Structure 1
Amino acid sequence: MRQIVLHMGISLDGFIEGPNREIDWHLVDDELHQHMNDTLGAMGAFLHGRVVYELMADFWPTADADPDAPEIIREFAAIWREKPKYVYSRTLQEAGWNSTIVRDVVPEEVAALKAEPGGDLVLGGADLAAAFLRHDLIDEFRTYIHPVLIGRGKPLFRETEFWVRPLRLVETRTFGNGVVLLRHERAREGV
């Protein structure tokens, strides 16, 4: 069965974006970008919230049209454009590039999606992650810790009334630019 994998870049102080939605502090060099291409290219589908979808849709559909674009950029543009996307939004009326709009996180629908053949499902966005957490639907957490402090912005995890435990650290990786991957899996009972 496919897994739901939360995949997010965060600052050392826990933010996914600055107070004005800035993400220009992300330290993405060729090594990290190639890792992302390899990792995300193997996934079966993207699960986006509206904000993440719109951010991605503003750049990736035509990023490979620039003849001067690096190969790494062209490669990810094709991955994003061709990969199935499920966009969770109550307001978005249409979405292109192999996207399906989903209005609510319904555990039975997510279970059916997980039961389909193919690679794991990559989840992006703090608000969508919170909704998936409320339903205990996240199987793996991949956080890419960027060695910067931005002081304020949108945190990856907000205060909740529940705990997610235990988690098992299954991988760490330090990239040449100082970004550190922490990969945790859920340690579910009976597994």
Structure 2
Amino acid sequence: MRKIVVHMGVSLDGFFEGPDRDISWHTMDDEMHAFINAYLATTSAFLFGRVTHELMADFWPAADQDPEVSGPMPEFAGIYRRIPRIVFSRTLEQDEWATSVHCEVDPEHIRSLQQQPGGDMTVGGADLIDAFRRHDLIDEYRLFVNPVLLGRGRPLFGPGDAPADLELVDSRRFGNGVVMLHHARRRG
């Protein structure tokens, strides 16, 4: 069964965006990007909210054509184009970089996607993550904790209905100071 994995960067104090939607504090270097590419190349779908989808679609489809782009970034452009992108939005009808668009999270549809063959499906976007959490659809969390305290901004996780018991599966410190924490849900 395919797992649904949150794959996001956060500040040490739990924000994924700073004030005014600022994400310039997210730290990325070639080592970390190569690590992320190696994992994402094994996945079978990106599950995005509209805002995350639009941010990704504005840059990645043609990033490998830009002579300024180097290191592992051109490789990710190919990964991005190859992996289906399922977008959840009440306002977006369709666009060329969305494989499919759904107006809401239907737990039965998501569970049927999980039954299909293939690698993990990564979910990105705070609102979408909250919806998946409400429906108890998240199997794992891969959070890339940046060495910064923002003090304010938009938290990755809103209040939840029930606690989720997690187990640390892996952790990794990158040379840029980011620490990846990989947790799995304990079920049953």
TM-score (ref. length: structure 2):
0.97
Deviations 1:76-97 (A, max 9, x none): 1111112101000011021223
- 1:30 partnered with 2:12: no
1:180 matched residue in structure 2: 179
User: Do the aligned residues in 2 keep the contact of 1:5 with 1:140 (CA within 8 Å)?
Assistant: yes
**Which stretches in structure 1 are left out of the alignment for 5+ residues?**
none
2:52 matched residue in structure 1: 52
> In the TM superposition, what are the counterparts of 1:57-72 in structure 2 within 5 Å?
57-72=57-72
Aligned length: 188
* Structure 1 residue 71 displacement after superposition: 3.9
* Structure 1 residue 160 displacement after superposition: 2.3
Percent identical among aligned pairs is: 54
> In the TM superposition, what are the counterparts of 1:70-149 in structure 2 within 5 Å?
70-97=70-97, 99-149=99-149
User: Do the aligned residues in 1 keep the contact of 2:141 with 2:184 (CA within 8 Å)?
Assistant: yes
Distance in 2 separating the partners of 1:14 and 1:138:
18
* Structure 1 residue 98 displacement after superposition: 5.3
Distance in 1 separating the partners of 2:130 and 2:68:
38
* Structure 1 residue 131 displacement after superposition: 0.2
Deviations 1:123-158 (A, max 9, x none): 111110000000000000111100011121110011
* Structure 1 residue 61 displacement after superposition: 1.0
